[in-house]
Chain A
Amino acid sequence: GAVVSQHPSRVICKSGTSVKIECRSLDFQATTMFWYRQFPKQSLMLMATSNEGSKATYEQGVEKDKFLINHASLTLSTLTVTSAHPEDSSFYICSASEGYEQYFGPGTRLTVT
């Protein structure tokens, strides 16, 4: 299957700072990438759909000014959590579509202190 990478895998930051998470499709081009958040023992929550060369589409209730998404190339999408707060601590997972199938990156565990 297709390979999606994410960096960093784990990050700890202080409240009020910003954190950038990178998502890369390694062996295919992805015109569409997705960002999810998952709290412990909860289901995946789609935050936004990232389209190469255009603005991201955010799900209802997700603040676009807080979660900045940039999809500058066919292999890279970034999610920046701005002015992070402890309640933003979560497991952030990106995914990318190749054909009909969707492949997930390994995830980034964000802890805001």
Chain B
Amino acid sequence: QKEVEQNSGPLSVPEGAIASLNCTYSDRGSQSFFWYRQYSGKSPELIMSIYSNGDKEDGRFTAQLNKASQYVSLLIRDSQPSDSATYLCAVRGRDDKIIFGKGTRLHILP
């Protein structure tokens, strides 16, 4: 059973600090990794994709991938109250199916 694991939270982070979200996955053959943001009552929005080991930066977001450890993370710098949402980690496996984690609730404290 392929799995994507995330801490459900809530993760509380002061405004302006760095929020660190983590995800592990079980399918060692996975090649594509994604982070989605979902506000309450809304559908998920793709915010980052990462395909190779290392870091990928986009504005205040940095995705980190370590395939050897089967670990993906998302860093949000200078956290803002508008970053408060549920963040979903998603992994595309060898069968081309995307598996979603259950999400981590992030709460930015003003």
- Chain A residues close to B by CB (< 8 Å): 1, 43-44, 46, 49, 91, 93, 100-107
Q: Which of these, B32, B44, B97, contacts A44 with CB under 8 Å?
A: B44
The majority secondary structure among interface residues of chain B is: strand
Shortest 7 CB-CB contacts between residues of A and residues of B: A43-B102, A107-B43, A104-B43, A100-B32, A93-B43, A104-B44, A44-B100
Q: State in angstroms the CA–CA spacing of A46 and B2 once bound together.
A: 14
Instruction: List the one stretch of B45-53, B63-71, B74-82 in contact with chain A.
Output: B45-53
A105 CA to B92 CA in the complex, in Å? Answer: 19
A106 touches B42 (CB 8 A): yes
Supplied contacts A100-B32, A100-B49, A107-B43, 20 more A-B pairs, CB within 8 Å: A1-B46, A43-B88, A43-B101, A43-B102, A43-B103, A91-B43, A93-B44, A100-B51, A101-B32, A101-B34, A101-B46, A101-B49, A102-B34, A102-B46, A102-B90, A102-B98, A103-B46, A104-B43, A106-B43, A107-B42
Residues of A within 8 A of B103 (CB): 43
Interface centre among B34, B44, B90 (most CB of A within 10 A): B44
User: Considering only CB atoms and an 8 Å cut-off, how many residues of chain B contact the other chain?
Assistant: 20
Chain A hits for B44, CB < 8 A:
44, 93, 104
Contacts of A107 in B (CB 8 A): 42-43
Minimum CB–CB distance for B15 against chain A, Å: 24
- A43 and B4 CA atoms in complex are apart in Å by 12
